[in-house]
Chains A and B, each alone.
Chain A
Amino acid sequence: MLSQLISAIVVIVVGVGGCVAYFWGANKLVDLIFPSRGVKGAAAIDNLRRQGLVRPWLFIGPALLILIIYLIYPVINTVITSFQDKSGEGFVGLANYQWAFGDAQFRNSILNNLLWLLVVPAACTFLGLIIAVLTDKIWWGTIAKSLIFLPLAISFVGASVIWKFVYEYKGEGQTQIGLLNAIVQWFGGAPQVWISMPIWNNFFLMAILIWIQTGFAMVILSSALRGIPEETIEAAVIDGANPFQIFWKIMIPQIWGTIIVVWTTITILVLKVFDIVLTMTNGQWNSQVLANLMFDWMFRGGGDFGKGATIAVIIMLAVLPIMIWNIRQANKEGGL
C-alpha cells in the first residue's frame, strides 16, 4: 500500500525530472551542434536559422508523440476496426453498421441520446441564464452562485448516488426515505419507482446531468452578461423598454455567441455521457445510451471490438459538425 504511494511519488519526480532533463538537454544539444555564439558572420546566421528550424519541434515533440499514440492513431484505428469482426481481424465491410441500425437496443440508444441532446443542453443553458440574471440582482448572489456551481466538482458516479437516494423507493406502507417520493406522498400522490419507468426514467437521469452542468452554463453566461456595455441597457431604459424587452432584445443578442459556446460544449458532453447511465440503470428499462452501449459491447462476452468501434464512430460522427465549426471559428478569429 505504502509502496504504491512511494512509486507514485517516484513517478512524479522521474516524470518531471525527465521532462526537464529532456527539454534542457535537447536545447543544449542544439546549441552545441549549431553554435551561434563564438562563430562569425554568415555561419552564425546560418546556424541561428537552423536552430530556429529544429527548436520548435524539440519543444513540441513529446506532446506530439503522446497525442499521436493516445489520440490520433486510435481515432484512425477505431474507424478501421468498425469495418472488422469481433476480434478485430477479419474485414466485414458495412456489416457492423447494418447490425447497428437493425438492433433494437441500438435504436433505443439513439432515440434516448436524441432526447438527451434535445433536453439537457437547452435546460442547462436556460436555467444557467435565469440564475445568472437573478443572482446578479441580489447581495448574496455570489454565495448562491457558488452553491449552484458546486455540483460541477462532483463526479458523475457520486452524483448518481446522491440522486439515487433522492429517487429511492420504499414499498407500500414503509416510510419513504427518498426526498422525491416523500414530497409526492406529502402532496397526496403515490410513491413511484422513478428509475424504472420507461421514457420518463430518461428524464430522471437527465436531471442529474442538468444538476451538474447548470453551474457551468451559469458561470460562463454570468461573465458574458457582465461584459454587456451598460450604455446599451441605459439607452433601452430611457427609451421605456420593460425588463422583459431589455432581456430578450438587448441582452440576449449581445451574448448569443456565448450561448452557442455553452450549448455546444454541453452537447458534446451529453454525447459522451456514460457514468450516469451505467450507475443508475446500466441501460435497463429502455434507458440505454450510445456511450454505455459501446462500453457494454467492448467487454460483453469477451468483447466485440467491431461493434464497439462502430458505436464509437457513430458518436464521433455526431460530434464532427461541432468540431469543424470550432476549427473554422478559431481560424476566423486569427487563432491559427
Chain B
Amino acid sequence: MAQASGKSAGGSSFGRWGVHLAVLFFVALWTLPTLGILVTSLRDKDQIIASGWWNSFVSSSQTVDGRLAASDKQTQKGDKFVIEGNLFEGGAVREISAFGTRSRNPTEFPAGTVADLGDGETLQINADGSYVHSSTKAFEGDRGQRVYFASSAPPKFTTENYRTVLFSEGIGRSFLNSLTVTIPATIIPIMIAAFAAYALAWMRFPGRALLIAVIIGLLVVPLQMALIPLLEIYNGVGNLFGVPSKTYLGIWLAHTGFGLPFAIYLLRSYMAGLPRELMESARIDGASDFEIFMKIVLPLSFPVLASFAIFQFLWVWNDLLVAMVFLGSSADQLVLTGKLNALLGSRGGDWEILTTSAFITIIVPLIVFFSLQRYFVRGLLAGSVKGG
C-alpha cells in the first residue's frame, strides 16, 4: 500500500480514474460470462431465445405471426359475420402493443383499435390477445386469417429449469457420482503423501535426493503418458478376475496416483521449513520418528494439508479426461463434467438446460473456493514458487 501511494503521488487524478476504469473493465470481462449463465439459468425458457440475458430485467418484445380461427367458428350478428377468439389460447399470455395483417407492416395498428381492412372487413386485436374479426360477407376457407403482432412479456424468472435438469435430465444423479468420485480421491492421497513427505524432508537415507528429483520430474509429466498402459492394466485385471474394468475403486486409485507427486512436493517443502530444533528436542526426549510425525509435524502441517485438499478436490471435481477414460458413460457412473459434455452434444441449442447444468457443475467449486480462498492462495504460492 505504501508502495502504491508512493507511485500514485506522481500520477494525476486523471490517471487514478484511469486505473479504476481499467480494473473495472477487467472485472467486467472476467465476471460477465459467468453472470450470463447464472441469469439465463433462472429465466423462462421462451424468453431466453427472445432476448439477450442482459435484457432480462426489461420486458422482452418480439414480433411474431399467428392465425385467427377458421371460418367454421364464425357467428352471424345482425348483418355481420363475426369470428371471436384469443391469440394466446392455451399459451403464455403476452401483452400485444400493435398488430397488422401484412408482413411488410406487421405493426400497422396499435392494439385495441378497430382496423379497417377494406371491403367491409374489420379487425380488432386487444392488448390481452382477444380479437374480433368481422365482415359483411361470410368468411370462407378452412384456414383463418394470418395476422402479425408485436408483443411483450414482463421479465419472468423461474426455478423450473433447475427442477427439470436435476430430476429429469440426470444432473442430480451425476452430482452424486461426482461426490462419490471426489471425496475419497481427495482424502486417500493426503495420508499417503504426508508420510512420504516427512520421510523425504526429515529422514536421512540413501536414494533420497534421487527420489525427490523423480517426484519433481513427475510433477510435470502429462497425464496422457499414463492413460494407455493404465487402461490396459485395468482391462487385464478386469478380464482376469471377471470384474468390470470401469469402477469407482479404479478411478479413486488413479486420482490418488496422479495427485501424489504434487501432494508430496507441496507437503515436503512445507515440512522441510519447520524449525529443526522442534524435531531435535523431541528426539532427545526419546520420541521416535513415528511419534514426531504424528504429534508434531502432522498438526503443524494443517494449513498445507488443507491447501492440498482444496487443490485435489477442485482438480478431481473438474476433471473430465480421467473420468472419461476410467469410468463408464452409464447414468450410474457419469460424473458432472462428463454429463455436461454429453449434454453439449445432445442438447446443443437448449440453453435453459445447458446453462442450468453448467451452473450446478460450477457451484460446488465456487463455494469451496470462496470459503477457503486463503488456503487455496497459500497452496498456489507454495506449489509454484520454488521454496515459497
Contact = CB atoms under 8 A, between A and B. Distances in A.
Ranked nearest first, the 3 interchain pairs of A and B with the lowest CB-CB distance are A70-B257, A155-B318, A63-B196
Nearest to B317: A155
Interface residues of B, number: 125
Interface in B28-51: 30-34, 36-37, 40, 48-51
Contacts of A62: 192, 195-196
B4 interface: yes
A325 to B, nearest CB: 10
Nearest to A81: B228
A211 B32 CA distance: 11
Given A15-B184, A155-B317, A75 B26 contact: no
B340 A20 contact: no
The CB with the most chain B CB atoms within 10 A, among A53, A153, A163, A327, is that of: A153
Interface in A267-287: 268, 271-272, 274-275, 278-279
A316 B227 CA distance: 13
The CB with the most chain A CB atoms within 10 A, among B2, B211, B317, is that of: B211
The CB with the most chain A CB atoms within 10 A, among B7, B220, B370, is that of: B220
A329 B386 contact: yes
Contacts of B288: 27, 31
Nearest to B30: A148
B40 to A, nearest CB: 7
At the interface, is chain B mostly helix, strand, loop or mixed?
helix
Contacts of A261: 384-386
A138 B22 CA distance: 11
A169 to B, nearest CB: 10
Given A275-B321, A316-B222, A158 B228 contact: no
B185 to A, nearest CB: 10
Interface string B168-193: 00000100110110011001100111
B199 A59 contact: yes
Interface in A1-57: 1, 4-5, 7-8, 11-12, 15-16, 19-20, 23-24, 27, 31, 52-53, 55-57
Given A153-B366, A275-B320, A246 B7 contact: yes
18 contacts: A4-B332, A7-B180, A23-B290, A53-B205, A55-B290, A67-B218, A67-B261, A74-B230, A75-B225, A131-B26, A175-B50, A175-B52, A177-B48, A177-B351, A182-B52, A326-B216, A327-B216, A336-B213
Given A62-B195, A70-B226, A166-B33, A147 B212 contact: no
Contacts of A135: 23
B23 to A, nearest CB: 5
Nearest to A243: B7
Given A243-B10, A246-B7, A333-B386, A141 B224 contact: no
A233 B384 CA distance: 26
Interface string B238-277: 0000000000110011101110110010000100000000
A77 B229 contact: yes
A5 B180 CA distance: 6
Interface string A116-156: 00000000000100010011111011001011111111111
Contacts of A214: 30
Contact of B19 (A60, A138, A148, A333): A138
Nearest to B257: A70
Nearest to B11: A243
Nearest to B258: A70
Interface residues of A, number: 126
Contact of A60 (B200, B361, B368): B200
Contact of B3 (A56, A153, A223, A233): A233
A326 B228 CA distance: 26
Nearest to A224: B385
The CB with the most chain B CB atoms within 10 A, among A56, A69, A88, A237, is that of: A56
B145 interface: no
A175 B228 contact: no
B298 to A, nearest CB: 11
Interface stretch (A105-113, A198-206, A305-313): A305-313
A98 interface: no
Contacts of B199: 55-56, 59-60
A272 B223 contact: yes
Nearest to B264: A63
A75 B226 contact: yes
B289 interface: yes
A288 interface: no
A140 B23 CA distance: 10
A333 B31 CA distance: 39
Interface stretch (B89-97, B149-157, B373-381): B373-381
B49 A177 contact: yes
A291 to B, nearest CB: 6
Contacts of A322: 220
Contacts of B223: 272
The CB with the most chain A CB atoms within 10 A, among B51, B52, B351, B354, is that of: B52
A16 B188 contact: yes
Nearest to A225: B3
A248 to B, nearest CB: 14
Contacts of A96: none
B284 interface: no
B221 interface: yes
Contacts of B2: 230
B191 A19 contact: yes
A154 B228 contact: no
Contacts of A23: 191, 195, 290
Contacts of A66: 192, 253, 256-257, 260
Contacts of A77: 228-229, 232
A137 B7 contact: yes
A134 B26 CA distance: 10
A174 to B, nearest CB: 8
Contact of B232 (A233, A271, A275, A305): A305
Given A60-B196, A156-B320, A131 B225 contact: no
A69 B354 contact: no
A179 B52 contact: yes
A73 interface: yes
A15 B248 CA distance: 13
A55 B376 CA distance: 32
A290 to B, nearest CB: 8
A40 to B, nearest CB: 16
Contacts of B229: 73-74, 77-78, 81
